[in-house]
Each structure stands twice: as structure tokens, then as C-alpha cells.
Amino acid sequence: MTEHARQLVVPDSRGEGASTSSHVESIDVVIPVLNGMAYLERTTPTVLAAARRAGGVTVNYVDNGSIDGTLVYLESFAHEGVRIHHFRGKSIGGMRNYGARVGSADYLSFIDADCAIPERYFEDALSTIQTTGAAATGCEAHAPDAPHWIEATWHALHYVGVDRDVHYLNSANFFIQRAAFDRVGGFREDLKTGEDAEIGQRITEAGLRIRECTRVHAVHFGNPKSIGAFYRRTVWHGLGMFGTVNSRRFDKPTMMMALHLILTIGGIASLALLPLAFGWRVAVAVACQLIAPALTLAHRARQTKRVPRIDVAIFLYWLYYWARLQAVWIVATGRTHRYNK
């Protein structure tokens, strides 16, 4: 395992070289990347603009073997303080942990390579932690302008839009005190996915708070933009779902997936066993397919105070639960190595 880095420090807003010793607070940004040229031209300049404004920020890209021009592009920002690290990680959690280890700043900011941030991002993140006493902050990622109907619907279903304490935040947009990160041991590197939910569980179990703040937001450009892409992404995300299941907790998505499986079996049985006309038996089987998605939609509508198109939302949740069931099968048959990302 080799690592090479180019280290400069992003200038602060006064145009002077900033170092961690000249700032009360310092921030290490960790951005995992693999063949990111589809997004970097839209995202890297926003990270650097926010870093220049805040000062005391070091931007670290952790590359997993890019061959699409990513390294050449990032090297063009060496004069602005970008550090490039070469690390062939087996998991995204391992890449993030590696990026955290190469620095020593007071705070860690985990941002995905396909995410853009506002210019006040780091200032707002620091302010949120300092005024609320939370250990970590961030926000559900936003869909881009003129989004595809899938990303628009999915965002509407999951973005609450109020500042609140939460159990976890997506690690595509996650800002945390280094002391808290070290205290819980960082991300679990054995999980292929779901490392953000799992570390959130350990943070809250340690008595620390995670504060979602709508000002600390990011725009995510890498959302699925087709039904096939949405299904494949959901399968991939589902590979780490059991990281948050233990004797003390059984998380809601896994419970609803299990309910969907039970209802599917019940629907199939109804086709053969119910003493009803065939049309009614089919109706029962179809209803069994819709119960878990409908319950999930009702739960999300209660949280977000909004209801997207019901037919589209239920369809996406139906795909979601089938994708997670496929992920269970992949894990059970030991084929997760085919799903590296």
C-alpha cells in the first residue's frame, strides 16, 4: 500500500497562506474519487472557493486508481493547495479513514467527488457545531437544478428541510470533530456500503449528537437518472445494510424489507390457496406488493410534510425493496466482490 501526496495549504480569504497553527480551528477535507471527470469540473471549484473563504482548510483527494484524466485535472490545482493521495481501497470507508489519517486538523469534512458545496459551507459547519454542541453536522444532499424525475422524487421523499438532531447523515456530506471521529474509531472498513449509517449509530450510542443543518448542504450530481441505474445503485447500497442490525437495534429499512418479503410470499400463496375468483386473487397479490411501499411513503410524508406523486413514489419504493432483497441474496451467496465501486 503506497501513498504519494502533494501538500500545499489553501490560501485564506485575505490571500495569505493559511496554516493550522495560525487558526483556532482547522479542517481536513477528505474526498474519495475514482474516475470522477464526469463531475469534478462542476464540484472541485466549489470546494476550493469555500476553502479560500474559510481559511485553514486542506483539501485531500484520495484516488482509488483513476484512469480518466482525474489526476491530471486535480494536479492543475496544486497551486491552490489540493493534496492528491493514491490509495487502492477495498471499501469507501477505508478510503475515507485513510484520508483522515494523513491530516491532523481539528475537524474532518467528508465530501463526495460528485458533490458541490456553497461558499459558506465550512463557516456554517463550524458555526453549527460550535453553537449547538453537536459532534457532527451536514445535510441530506440536494438534487441539482432541472433534476431527472427519479432524483427529484427521491429528494422530495427524504429531504426534511429543517434543522434537527438525527441518527446519521450521508457521508457524501458529513462534517465531524476529529476527536469524535477518533473516539468512535472512524468508519468500518469491512462494510462495502452503509458505513455512514453504521458510524452514525456508534456516534449516537456514544452519547454524541449529530445535527442536520440545512445551511451545510451539498448538491449531488451523481444521482441515478434511469430506472436501471436507480435499481443498481440501490442494490449496491443494500450490500452493507446489516452493518446497523444488532441485538439492540433492527433498523426500519431492513424491517420493511423483511415485511415486503413476507407479504410477497403471502401474495404468492393467495394465488394458489384463496377460495376466490382468479381476478380477486391477483388483486390480493398485487396489494401485498404495495403495502410496504405505501407504509414507507406514509412515514416519509409525515416526516417531510409533503407528498410527491403517489404512484411514482410507491413505484420507486417497490423497486427499492426488491433491490435490497437482491442485495441480501448477493451477500448470502458471497458474490459481493463483483460489486466493487
121 and 30 share one domain: yes
Q: Flag whether 333 is in a domain.
A: yes
Residue 288 lies in a domain: yes
Residues 110 and 217 in one domain: yes
Q: What is the rounded distance in angstroms from the CA atom of residue 13 to the CA atom of residue 16?
A: 8
> Closest Cα to residue 215, out of 125, 145, 132?
125
Per-residue model confidence (pLDDT) at position 124: 97
207 plus 267 within the same structural domain: no
Residue 249 pLDDT class (50, 70, 90 cuts): low
Question: Using one digit for the tens of pLDDT, what is the confidence trace for 270-323?
Answer: 999 999 999 999 999 999 999 999 999 999 999 999 988 999 999 999 999 999
N-term to C-term CA, the chain: 18
Q: Is residue 229 situated within a structural domain?
A: no
Which grid cell sits at 165? Answer: 438532531
Q: Are residues 56 and 156 in the same domain?
A: yes
Q: What percent of the chain stands above pLDDT 90?
A: 80
Same domain, 66 and 167: yes
236 inside domain: no
pLDDT of residue 12: 42
- 315 is a domain residue: yes
The predicted structure's pLDDT at residue 242: 72
Is residue 300 domain-resident? Answer: yes
276 and 207 fall within a common domain: no
- pLDDT tens column, 24-76: 589 999 999 999 999 999 999 999 999 999 999 999 999 999 999 999 999 99
d(CA 83, CA 33): 13
> Nearest to residue 136, comparing CAs of 191, 184, 97?
184
CA separation for the pair 128, 134 (Å, rounded): 8
**How many domains does the chain fold into?**
2
Residue range 131-153, pLDDT digits in tens? 999 999 999 999 999 999 999 99
For residue 150, the model assigns a pLDDT of 96
Res 5: pLDDT: 42
- Output the DSSP codes for 236-278: HHHTTGGGG-BTTB--HHHHHHHHHHHHHHHHHHHHHH-SS-H
pLDDT tens digits for range 6-28: 333 343 433 333 333 344 589 99
Q: What is the pLDDT of residue 241?
A: 76
Q: Say if residue 264 is in the same domain as residue 207.
A: no
Q: Is the separation of the CB atoms in 66 and 88 below 8 Å?
A: no
Residues 6+ apart with CB under 8 A from 87: 1, 3, 62, 63, 64, 94, 95, 98, 99
Per the model's pLDDT, the better-predicted residue between 108 and 254 turns out to be: 108
Range of the domain at 256: 244-339
pLDDT at 291: 97
Residue 15 falls inside a structural domain: no
Distance between CA atoms of residues 66 and 224, nearest Å: 21
Q: Over the chain, what is the mean pLDDT?
A: 89
Provide the pLDDT for residue 22: 41
Query: What pLDDT sits at residue 239?
Result: 86
pLDDT of residue 90: 77
pLDDT score recorded for residue 247: 53
Q: Is 184 exposed, middle or buried (0-12, 13-18, 19+ CB in 10 A)?
A: buried
Q: Does a structural domain hold residue 44?
A: yes
- CATH number at 66 reads 3.90.550.10
The amino acid occupying position 248 is R
